[in-house]
């Protein structure tokens, strides 16, 4: 897992690194743009525009929602990435904090129409993912939704096949979503594959 300093160093070239992987349709960012576009349109087509972004990075997605009039809140643990994102979204309420320890208190006191997390929650263990989602669900307004766009697989078998194909490129430090293993904890969870190694998981209130 990259620590906050690692993300600080990566901040300048982050968007370019992601784009190269997406365009070549390879692990880990195959489907990245499709996923972000889909979440973007789903958030905008839903009533209410209070959006919380977990691990927003440089604000690639949230800056577009911000431009459409969404009220943006966010938490990231990289000071440098927050600086980049804040310049794109001057009025956004962005906080530094390690989400493996949960939300900062300022964000816990609010409610949201949508909570999004794109390519961030794979830094949490499976247990931490469950605990964190349990913390987020009560913060949704009625009819609200959590959108998770990330490296994710329907089953452990499909994950193993991707791992074999990725070879040395596979990141052993990251813990990816396996839908059928989370479904028993969150029966309302929906998974939509968007590429060979990624998709969108949604949890509605």
Which 3 state secondary structure label does DSSP give 153?
A: strand
Here the tokens at position 12 are 């300048």
pLDDT at 12: 45
pLDDT over 80 (residue 174): yes
Query: If you ran DSSP here, which 8-state letter would residue 138 be given?
Result: G
Write out pLDDT tens, residues 29-86: 888 888 888 999 999 999 899 999 999 999 988 999 999 999 999 999 999 999 999 9
**Where does 46-185 have alpha helices with state H?**
62-67, 79-88, 105-108, 126-136, 156-166, 179-182
pLDDT for the residue 24: 56
* Residue 23 pLDDT greater than 80, yes or no: no
Angle among Cα 155, 121, 125 to the nearest 5 degrees reads: 70
Question: What is the CA angle 77-35-65, rounded to 5?
Answer: 65
pLDDT at residue number 26: 81
Residue 87, pLDDT above cutoff 70: yes
Q: In the chain, pLDDT over 90 holds for what percent of residues?
A: 77
């Amino acid at each position: 897992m990259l620590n906050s300093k690692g993300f600080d160093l990566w901040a300048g070239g982050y968007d370019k690194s992601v784009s190269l992987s997406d365009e070549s349709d390879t692990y880990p960012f195959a489907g990245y743009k499709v996923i972000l576009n889909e979440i973007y349109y789903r958030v905008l087509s839903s009533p209410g525009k209070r959006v919380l972004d977990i691990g927003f990075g440089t604000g690639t997605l949230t800056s577009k929602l911000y431009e459409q009039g969404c009220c943006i809140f966010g938490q990231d643990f990289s000071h440098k990435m927050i600086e980049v994102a804040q310049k794109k979204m001057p009025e956004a309420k962005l906080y530094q904090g390690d989400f493996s320890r949960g939300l900062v208190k300022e964000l816990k006191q609010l409610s949201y129409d949508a909570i999004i997390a794109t390519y961030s929650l794979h830094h949490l263990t499976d247990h931490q993912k469950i605990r964190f989602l349990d913390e987020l669900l009560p913060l949704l307004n009625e009819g609200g939704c959590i959108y998770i766009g990330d490296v994710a697989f329907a089953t452990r078998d499909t994950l193993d096949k991707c791992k074999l194909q990725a070879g040395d490129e596979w990141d052993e430090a990251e813990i990816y979503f396996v839908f059928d293993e989370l479904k028993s904890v969150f029966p309302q969870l929906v998974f939509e594959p968007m590429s060979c190694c990624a998709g969108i998981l949604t949890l509605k209130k």
